[in-house]
Amino acid sequence: MDATYRRLLGAALGAALWLAGCAGAPPPPPPEPLAPLAPVTRSPREMALERAVGEFSGVPYSSGGTTLAGVDCSGLIQALYQRTGVRLPRTVADQYQAGAPVGREELRFGDVVFFNRYCQTRGRGPYLAGIFSPGFEDEVCHNGIYLGGGRFMHASSRGVFISRLDAEVWRVSYRGARRYLPGGN
């Protein structure tokens, strides 16, 4: 090979490497889709609860609401359980006091998970779990129903939707769970 050819080849290779470096990092892979939940045998109350969960999916948010026209977080839980014949108190704090405590590793479909994510600091706006600790660590002011597979359904200003318990905001603001259905899987 003559020197001119080697210089041209070297220049072309250098330009290709330089251009590849300008392209930046490849885009991150898309998030993994949620794995489907394994089929389970449900009690009649759990089946009623499962049907109610389907009915309330996507319902709009309404402060104080407890119907398919609109719900807030504790109104959603109260309405879901009402359809199973279980009467629950209206507020998140009162719902937290009712039922049997459940460890995070023992969660099953129908358990209610509680958070301090939306607690208010006296007139200073929303308490952002994990950032500030103004004495609200043990307070509960948001809840949702555990669906299994690390997922729960809840109502917020975006309406009723499903989130993952392992998402940072829910992981750091998690305060416990309660079980209202007897027996089970």
Strand 174-179 relative to strand 100-102: parallel, antiparallel, unpaired? antiparallel
d(C-alpha 80, C-alpha 74), whole Å: 10
Burial of residue 21, with CB atoms counted within 10 A of its CB: 0-12 exposed, 13-18 middle, 19 or more buried = exposed
- Which residue among the candidates 22, 119, 141, 154 is catalytic per the annotation? 154
Look up residue 82 and give its amino acid. Q
Active site residue 142: yes
Helix axis angle, 73-82 to 44-56, nearest 10°: 140
Residue 9 main-chain phi, psi, to 5 deg: -65, -45
- Which residue among the candidates 22, 119, 141, 142 is catalytic per the annotation? 142
What does the block give as tokens for 129?
A: 């779990």
d(C-alpha 10, C-alpha 1), whole Å: 12
User: Among 69, 73, 80, 117, which Cα is nearest to 94's?
Assistant: 73
Catalytic site positions: 73, 142, 154
